[in-house]
Structure 1
Amino acid sequence: MRTITLEDLHIFQTVVREGGIHKAADVLNRVPSNITTRIKRFEERLGCLLFRRQGRGLVLTEAGKRLLGHADKMLRLADEVARDMTQAGVAGVLQLGSLESAAAVRLPDLLSSYHVRYPEVSVHLKTGSTGALLSMLKDHEIEAALVSEPFNADQMNALPVFQEELVLITALGHPNIRSPKDLQVDAVAAFPHGCSYRRCLLEWLGAAGVSPKRIMDLGSYHAIVASVAAGAAFGILPISVLNNAVQGSNVQQHTLPQALSVNVTHLVWQGPSSLALQGLIDLLSEARAEGE
């Protein structure tokens, strides 16, 4: 007798996704007591607890978090096998993470082409910093992510897809900047900790012995550009984003050293790719080959 069945995984996954027994029971068209019994028996067969109570709700244990990643992969694979045997096309959901910059500039055309090729796939997009996206990947909240250099993706697959040119921005009228010591503003406007661009900028400043007095943690490129335009800070961002920003013409661009200005965005993912993800990988590879 198998310890794990697809039905066990489906019930477990539904409880997690719906946030509790009662909502999962509604989705699965079962009574709550049946769901509770199935989960308890599943835990007994596995020899570990998958949930613990917190207030009126349930939260995953560490074992539950590990199982959720396996459950997502196995159920996705089962769906793909069923579609393959019935000769259906690629379908399902692709959980994709992306940097704000890539989501704003790179993804619209890409996802439009993807939808034309795979109309039965629904792409669910989450944005965040490189650090946050890698954490989502490890926790199996997303299947793949577009992240920027530098990043640590041990035991992950990585495909370089876009090359970005980073520029330093200040308020209009700021004197030319040849080194960090030429900066006349002592505050940095950037995304919160975990942003690769922010990390690159701070390392460049630190190498020259320059330490900003304040770092403004902001949640969007529009807010960063607006703060810089107002003279409150300086910042760093891809020129492709600046060209599309609302106040992009109200800031001054400064060229950075090549080692800092050239930054490559990568698609990263763990383990085997689903058919939906493989479709995105193929599309990105084709686009990159055409651009070379």
Structure 2
Amino acid sequence: MKIDQLRAFCAVAQTGSVSGAARVLNRVPSGVTVRIQQLEQDLGCELFLRDRQGMSLSPAGRQLLDHARRILDLTESTRSLMKDEDVGGRLTLGALDVVLVDYMPALIGRFRSRYRGVDLDIRHQASEDLVQNVGEGALDLALTDGPVRSNALESRLAFIDEMLLVTEQAHPPVGGPAELECGELYGFRHDCSFRFRMDRWLTEGKATDLPVVEIESYHTMLACVTAGMGAAWMLRSVLETLPGHQQVRVHSLGEAGRTEIHFLWRSGHLTRNAERLMSVAQELGEVRRAQGWSRLG
């Protein structure tokens, strides 16, 4: 007997049908049916009387209902107890390096001033590693390029930024990759979602013959661009922090450049400290919007 089977049983008892229970539980009807059948097999009795009008509780089902509800209530109260720990404990947070440059310092400073008892572990990882480590439970929370579509993960928009094409100042306007007049393009590793997007931009613009050089330092990227050696993709928030950013030309990538940074966590495993951090992030967003910071979602 499992919790999800009892939850399906109570939902059918409440709605009078499998389809109604599926809507309440946000599941497919076949999944609800399987759980009811498994529960009946496990208990060795029929829990519902089935007819054309729907499903009604059998005598055994009526006997089980109150007990099942108490079990579910106890389960939820236990989960709440584990989430409502005193301010303290640990928060393991992963983030893209671009998030660490501009957004994270203000967020962490505000969070630590309020929750000094929380032990923070902040890790810099590529987007592919962030998604994997959140799914495996190695990270409580991550900030990564999104949205991430997975039944095992949940996400919430943190802020919106813009990916830009950066060239030397004398470069003509660029509307697509075919109009680039340079020998190479600077990007990230293949395990980074920004690199996936850049490769797609090149493919759609039929410019797959343009060499892409992987550089892990934004300062080095900008130095190469300033010297007229090539072009680069950079987030606006990162570019504006780099010395010499006024010495290059910036080109909009349009919709291809829109960048959403999302909080990401494992479904059903949002810790209290992760909730606190996101709450502080929301407050920070409101402050920055009031100050005219336009890149927040």
Report the TM range for the smaller structure's normalisation: 0.5 to 0.7
The answer as to whether partners of 1:168 and 1:256 remain within 8 angstroms in 2 is yes
The aligned counterpart of 1:262 is 258
Q: Which residue of 1 aligns with 2:109?
A: 112
Deviation string 1:236-283 (CA, Å, 9 cap, x unpaired) is: 1111110101232232211112x1122110000103211211111222
Post-superposition offset of 1:212: 4.1
CA offsets, 1:137-179, max 9 Å, x none? 2333321111113644441010001110221001221111122
The equivalent of 1:148 in structure 2 is 145
TM-superposed deviation, 1:110: 0.7
From 177, 180, 183, the counterpart of 2:180: 183
Secondary structure at 1:124 match in 2: strand
The C-alpha deviation readout for 1:177-201, integer Å capped at 9, x for no partner, is 1221110124221110122222222
Task: Output aligned runs, 1:63-142, within 5 Å.
Answer: 81=82, 84=85, 89-142=86-139
Distance apart, 1:93 and its partner CA: 1.7
Match of 2:247 in 1: 250
What is the TM-score when the length of structure 1 is the normalising length?
A: 0.65
Q: Distance in 2 between matches of 1:284 and 1:263?
A: 18
Residues 210-252 of structure 1, C-alpha deviations (whole Å, 9 max, x = no match): 1144221122322222222222321111111101012322322
Distance in 2, Cα, partners of 1:175 & 1:82: 56
Q: Deviations over 1:13-64 (max 9, x none)?
A: xxxxxxxxxxxxxxxxxxxxxxxxxxxxxxxxxxxxxxxxxxxxxxxxxxxx
Aligned counterpart, 2:193: 196
**How many angstroms apart in 1 are the aligned matches of 2:282 and 2:123?**
22
Instruction: Quickly say closer, same or farther: Cα 1:161–1:249, change in 2 above 3 A.
Output: same
Q: Which runs of 5+ in 1 are unaligned?
A: 1-76
* Number of residue pairs matched by the alignment: 210
Q: How far off its partner does 1:95 sit?
A: 0.8
Distance 1:154 1:189, change over 3 A: farther
User: Structure 1 stretch 90-99 or stretch 193-202: which is displaced more?
Assistant: 193-202
Q: Look at both structures and tell me which one has the larger radius of gyration over its CA atoms.
A: 2
Distance 2:193 2:239 in 1: 17
CA distance in 1: counterparts of 2:146 and 2:218, whole angstroms:
18
Aligned equivalents of 1:229, 1:132: Cα separation in 2: 31
Task: Give the partner amino acid of 2:243.
Answer: V
User: Hey, what does 2:216 align to over in structure 1?
Assistant: 219
TM-score (norm 2): 0.64
Contact 1:165/1:238, CA 8 A, preserved across alignment:
yes
SS in 1 for 2:163: strand
Of all paired residues, the percent bearing the same amino acid is 23
Q: Distance in 1 between matches of 2:162 and 2:95?
A: 18
Corresponding residue of 1:159: 156
Task: State the Cα deviation string for residues 120-141 of structure 1 (Å, max 9, x = none).
Answer: 0121111122112112223333
Residue type at the aligned position of 1:137 = V
Cα distance in 2 between the residues matched to 1:114 and 1:178: 41
CA contact (8 A) 2:91 2:121 kept: yes
- Secondary structure of the corresponding residue to residue 246 of structure 1: coil
CA distance in 2, matches of 1:110, 1:156: 23
CA distance in 1, matches of 2:281, 2:265: 14
Q: Is the 8 A contact 1:191 1:220 kept in 2?
A: no
Looking at structure 2, the residues matched to 179 and 173 of structure 1 have their Cα atoms a distance apart, in angstroms, of: 17
